[in-house]
Each structure stands twice: as structure tokens, then as C-alpha cells.
Structure 1
Amino acid sequence: MRVTYSVQSILEQELTLEQECYISKLWLPQKIQVQTDSDFDTTEVSTTQPMWVFYIGGERVSFNFSDVSSPHLLKLIKYCCTNLISTGRVLRSTEFTTIKECLLSVKLTFIEYQKKLELHSSNDNDRYFFDLKSLTRLLCQLEFPGFSLDNLEDLAFIPIPNHFNPFLKYQDIENSFPSALKSQISHSIVEKSKNVDAISTSELHDIVILGLCYFTGMRQIQLAKLAVNSFSIDTKNDTSELIRYSLEVPYAKQTKITSEKIKIALPMELGLIINEYIKRNSLEPNDRFIQFNTNLSSQINNALQRSLLSIQSNETQSAVAKREHILPRLTVVDFRHNVGHSLAMSGASADEIAYIMGHSSTIAAAHYIMATPELAMIKSKALGNNPVWQNMVNLLITGYTVEQSQWTGKTVSGTLGGELHIRVGGCDRVNEECHLAKVRSCYGCFYFRPFSELRKHRAVLRCVDKELIEIIDISEKSGNSRNPAIATLANIKLEVQMVINRLKGGGVDEESERQPK
């Protein structure tokens, strides 16, 4: 069992000069806001206060910083809390206590945190493990002195306790790479591919790195080895204008799996962006694809961070520019783990995963596969029974709701499930043309402004359910139970359900919404 004790009794640790210099360069926003869908919650506090108090869902959550004497440790604790909250999570008092006592008392090196995690991994009833792992992951992503990006690989293989609350396991995966962010990245790459001429050269460089990391999960060393002739067009149809691109992925290390070079397919949208990048930079077939200076790691991860900022809404970008919001930091390793889990969830074998990810053995691939069946069940249960969690994860993906009578911009109508859905919301997109399927793709777009009429969104949800049942039935009868269309429709259903939950949380009169207008 975990031993609890008062943080006030802890003797604060000494920081190294390098750690103090790192902390001094960090900046905190003046205010911090917890994302919630209720008008009755207290969600905003000043970061300069010695006590942060939130009222979330009828619960009072308080973070007490007044007993921390070291100004550097105080700033670090506040920064870590702010960074975690900025991902859309709601920190509870127990998680704050873990963050506080660890940063105050545990020597700030990955080795010490790894030992502590391994100690608690054998305790099935210990939530402390998941809270500590979240903090350790953040310190690695920030490259805090004593922690490195390479440590994220080691973090993934620490055994996870068989907790009595299995939802924590799903939450652990979701916190490392939120589903909402995956949808946001894929949508943004498709959107930018439709108008590549308008992308600046610097942004083009960053979005190419984002796309390659997201779709391939390559290591930094593999990105450095890429040549222009690694990319090729396999097929092209002039009638349909469909193009199939592929990439020969260089090895990160000597492989025992296959002697052939790894060749994987790339989405057409990413291929169009890569073509523009090659053309814009006048690259020859034998040229290095990505030019880099002395520090490849920093260049690639900074490019990822700039890309993640560029795909955010104008409101979020403005808040970051004004230092009112901290954007979560993702690294190359986070993208690799996402690809590994996605392959395992799709039924790939250990050899196939090792082949795609460039592993020298199947050990790492087996780790993903062993975690997958249980994780799939946990995820299904969590998404089906926890609408509050859906709100927390997806709140920022869709824009604010509006009244149809007050909306003067473009409206969204389209067919789904064999039915026509008229004016389900507004579109705040600046560009006139939208390449996405109307209604079907709108609920996962932050330009979408859903109208506050529950009956319309329930009609959309009913049609999504209809399509989902049909595609599952067809997939099972054809022997393709892992049809990717199932996951796509499941995500659409989640996005529509999220809007409905928000409208219900906002106090929309459900009885009146049942009557057609």
C-alpha cells in the first residue's frame, strides 16, 4: 500500500545550477483555465496566487503552494500543473499531491523516478503509479535536466499495475497522445494539401516533419537519413486524379527481421505536401531530404511544436502568443508509440510492427501487442460509459455552440446514413472551399459551430449508428473484422456524442427539442 504523508514535512531537495537556469527561463501564463462544459464551474484562477481553487462538477479542488519555500521548485510545480491542465485534463487533489511531493523530495533524475515507478508497479491498487508516470513523461518531453527524450522509450516498458480501476490504463495512453489531437492533425494535413501554394516555406518544412512523424513513426536518425529519392509515386490516375505515394524508410539500426528496405504507403495528401516541399527547395533525387544543423533532436522536436501550434484555432494561437496558454509538447517518441499502438490495435503481427517501425527485434512489438487486447476492451468501456471523459478529451476540437437565429455565416448541411441533415451548424472557415464531407467531418473540426438544437444532432447520431451497425455486419460477413472504416465511424460517433453532451450540460430543454420546428 502507498504510504501517504504531509508534504509540509518534506525537506525540499537541492537543485543543480543547470536545473535552476532551466526553470528561470520557463514562463507561466497569468491565468490558467480548466476546460469544462458547465457554466457553474469555477474554471479560471490566477497563477500568482498561493492557492488555486477550482469547483468542478460540485467538487472543490484546491492546490496549495504556500508551503513551498524554494522559488525555483515553486515555479516548477506550478509549471507542471499548468502544462498538464493545458491538455484538457482536470487535475484532482490526489494527482497534485503526487506532483508536489515528488518534485520536492525525489531527486530530479530519470533513474530515481524510474526506480519509484518500478517500486509501485507491483501494487495493483496504487493510483500513484499513473500520476507519477504522467509527471515523468512530462519532464522527459520538456527535456528537463536529468531527463531526456530517449528516456521516453524506457518509460513505455515499465510494467503497468493491474489496477482495480481499468479506466486508468486507458487514461494513461490517452494522456500521452489524446485522440482529439490525432483527429486534428489528420484533418489539418488534408486541409493544407488542398492549398499547398499558400503555405510558407518555413511552415511547409514543419508540416512535412509533422506528417512523416504522425504517419510513419520514424526515429530522428531515420529522418536524418532520408533522401529525396526515398519518395516515389507508385500509381497515378489522371481521370480520378488519385495518386499513390510510397516511402522507403531507412533503417535506424541493423535489423534481424528482413534484409529488404522498408517500403510503406503514404496518404496522398501528405504526398502532395512533400512534392511541394521538394519543388520549393529545388531538391535533386540524391539530396538529403531534411537539412539540419548541429542538433537534430532539437530541430525536429521544435518543428513538431511549431506545426502543432499552426494547426490550432486562431483563439488558441492568440492565447499562446500572449502567453495566456501553454501548448502541450509532443516529441518524436510520442508519435512512435502512437504508431506502434495503432498497428497493434489493427491486428498487425510482431514481425510487421518491427518491420514498419524499424526495430532490430520483435521485443518492443510484442510489448505493444500484449497491451492491446485489454486496452481495446478498456477503451471501448471508457468511451461508452464515461461521457464526462469524452468532454474532457474532446472539448477543444469543436467550436462553441450558437443559436441558429443569431448565425449570419455559412451553414452546414449534408447527407449521412441515407438522410439529408439541414443546417446542423455554422462554418467559421475563412476559405470559401472545404474539401471535407459535409456533416460527416464537421463534428471533428474546430471551424464548426453546432447549432443548439438537440434533435438535429440526435438525428445525425442515429444515422451514424445505422452506418456503424451496417459496416460492422458487412465486415464480419466478409471476414474483415478489422475494417478501418469501423474505427473512423466510431470516432465520428464520439464527436457527435460530445456535442450532444455539451448541449445537455448547457441546459438545453430536451422536451422542446423533440418537437420539429
Structure 2
Amino acid sequence: MTKSADQEHAPPSSSFPAYVFEGPAQVAIRTRTDDQPRYVDTRLPVWTWYDGGVVLKIDWAALDLTPEFNEIAKGFMAYALEKYAPQTAFMFARTLVYLSSTDLARYFPWDCQNLIAELNGFKQSRQNLIGFRRLYRWGVGRGISGFDKNTYLIVKNTKSGRVDPYQRIFLSQSGLDLDEEIRLLKRIDRDIPRDDWSEVQLNIMLHLSFELGPRSIQFHSLDVADFEVIETDGREKYYTLWLPMAKKVGQRRPERRPRKITARLGDKIKQHVSEIQRRFGNGCEPMFVSRTGGRLSVIEIGADLKYELREAGIDKPNQVTMLLRHHLGQGLADQGSPADVIAELLGHNSTVPAQAYVTATPNIARIKEKALGKSPAFQRIMRSLLTGEVVQRRDTTPEREVRGVIDTQYIGDIGACALPIHTHCPYNPVYACYTCKKFHPFADGRHEQVREALQRETQRFIDTAEHAGDLSHNRPLAQHQATILAVSATIERCQQHQKDGADDAV
């Protein structure tokens, strides 16, 4: 009698009893919103859950797995649904679908050499490899027969053959060109009839993408209750969005972090909330809704933003929320923001993607500087947009004055910050002020002292970079050069302001 191919692959049977899934009938999942099911029924042949308004499922009958491993897979999926985000659990489900197409699906326990051979297939997909690694680690951790630590170390050390997801950011600057940004701002600022609430909603989503760069799932998860308006005694209004972040392991619901938005965007959202509650009732919870009052799905949000970008004349591959998100991240890096600040503002759980923006080549910035710096029109635009309006020192309270240290030298008397008193600014004082609209430079401020200190610090960067042989791609040097240009533009603007004041006095 000859052995079948499956019998040849299979190792000797174990004396330990086979694993049987005896998990709960309903597994609690990590929901993002209150209007989606919170449990997965494990008694059904198809497990179904929801995320971002999209149905996710795994059909056990469609998987070609051995009965024993099918039980193991159910145990792993129940664990994944309870511990990880819904989309992460679905990634693991796709790993099981791929596994069912391999020889590993036809027998269990697995022979080590055959498993190693099959790893080449898993290496073609980074997500499949991660899913299989988590599956094997879960099996080892629970002492399930057929999983061993030595084989897990081999699986753990296997690297994906695909390109790192952030490599394309490392290799080039991401985002919009100057002319594209101008067209986008025109699209955001266009007049829209107030009775066309759905068009207003699209405009708000585009505007919000430009200011905060949220992902589609963050748009989907936003509720009306996440919008906050603070009115001061002086009748000034400040708007805050409590933006839902990506879920971390151990969190039942996504963390919400406060993000300041401009008054222009805040006014739009305030009117939009009033309109959708008038149409769909005060109990309407979602911030962005369909024409029937339901929460917009991530697919609908992506399609809407893609449409808005095309209408703005921006035609790039994958032009959804990630394009403006990359544009925001690269813009923060170009202004000198460190990786940890960028990671915080974009809601990353690590500084790896933020570091990609910081280390992107500065060549494009130098080309723009040379090309645009010769344009008088561009110089006028920069002088008017870099900071807020020029003010007099006597009109500012001491609490609002900006002070900081450059090149170990304390510098003050340069301007005032328009943020509410005692508000923590995430940027580095003085360094970032000259490219911030919240900064109001003093007409007679010590801006020359700031420029001289920056020039001294820049020279130290040059000396260090030349010694290390890394002058051409020294990002701090490029950032300091951009800041010096901004300070110089502010000095010219203040001089013009004082000259205009003197002429008015005559």
C-alpha cells in the first residue's frame, strides 16, 4: 500500500488531545462607534463584524482546513477579535484564507522543513507573514500541541520580501506642490449655498483633511459630541475637535485627543451640526452622514474626498485622505518639527512613519527656495502669510509674549502668541514662530537678534556636517535656512509697517 502525499507530509501523530474551540458564544469586539454591533456570534458558520461601516467576515465552511486546525483557527480568531482592532482581526482572517490555499492546510501538526518551505509564500505579503507569526505565537503561548518554540523563532526571524510601507516617503517628499495647494485652498474657500448641506459637508471634510490630515476611519468615527466650542469673556471663540486616534492594544474604545482647528473651519462645522440635527433630529450622533442620516462609511468618505481633490485639479495616484495626511506630515517636518511632535499630531503610535517625513530629501525645498525666491509676487505672499499681523509691544499683555533660547542665548521681546493664555504650544518657541499665523511680531521687536543667533547656530551645523561628510543632506541645516528666510521676511514687513505708520503720522 502506498502512502498519499498528505501522509508523507504529516509528522507522527501526537499523544496529546486535539485542540477544541470552547470559547464564548459571543465575542466582544473593540467597536469605534456606538451604532455598530459589539459582538461576534461564534456559533454561526460565518463570523461577521463591522468596522468603518464595512462588513467584515470569515466563512469557515469556505476554508479548506483540516478539522483539527479549523478549531485552532477559530480559537485564534476569537482571541484576535477581542484583543485587536476590527481591521487587524480581518487581516488575520485573510492570513487564514491564504493558509487554506497552501499545503499546510491539508495536515496538522506541521513538519518543520515543510513549514519553512511554505514561509516563502508568506514572505510575499507582509500582512500574511505578520498574521502567521501572530498565529504561531498564540499557539505556542497556549501550549497547543503542534506549535513549538524553536519553530516559532524561525517564523519570527523571517522577513517580508515586500518594500517597507514607509520607504516611498523616505525616498521622496510627499504631498502637494505649491500650485496644487493654491488650487486646493481655492476649492476650500469657494462659496456654497447653505441649503446644499451635503455639498457643505464635502467642503468641511476637505478643509479638515487639509488642517488635521485624519484618516477615513477617523472621519467615520467622528461624532457631533466630539466638536467643542469655547467662548471667552471677550466674545472670542475657540474650536476643538476631539479626534479619535488609532486603537492601541488594551483599549476598549479609541482614545480621543483634542485638536485645535481654525475659526473658519469651526464656524462651518457649527453650522453643519445645526443643519443635520434639524434634518435628522437632535439624536443624530455622527458628524458626517449620508442623505438618509446614517453614518458615512470609509468607502463613501474616500470616494467623496477623491472627487473633491479631482475637482480642485489635483490628479495623483491614490488621492484620498492619505495624500493630504502626507502633505501635512511633510509640511510639519519642513518647518523643523521633530519626529515625536509629528507623531503626536498625526496620531501615530510610534515615530517610525514620522521619521520618514523628517529624513525625506530636502532637495525639493532648496529648488523651491531658488525658483520662488526670485519672484516678487511670491515674496509678497510669504511676507503676508508667514505670521499674523504686526503689532505694537504696548498693546500686548506680558503673558502673551514669546520667549525662547537660540544658540544658548535667551531671546525675548520679539512678538506675542494669539493662543489662549496658558495654552501649551506643541512647537518649539522662536524657531517655529516665524512660520506660524498665531505669532504676531512686534513692529520694533528684536528680530535681527533672532536672525543673528540662527546664523551662528547654522554655522555650527555646517561645521559639524562638513566634519561628518553629510552636508548635502543635512535636514537641520535646510530647516534653519528656511527659518532665517522667514525671519528676514518678517524684518522687512516690520520695517514697512513702521514706515507706513510714520507716513500716516505726517
- Structure 2-normalised TM-score? 0.38
Larger-Rg structure: 2
Relative contact order, higher structure (CA 8 A, sep 6+): 1
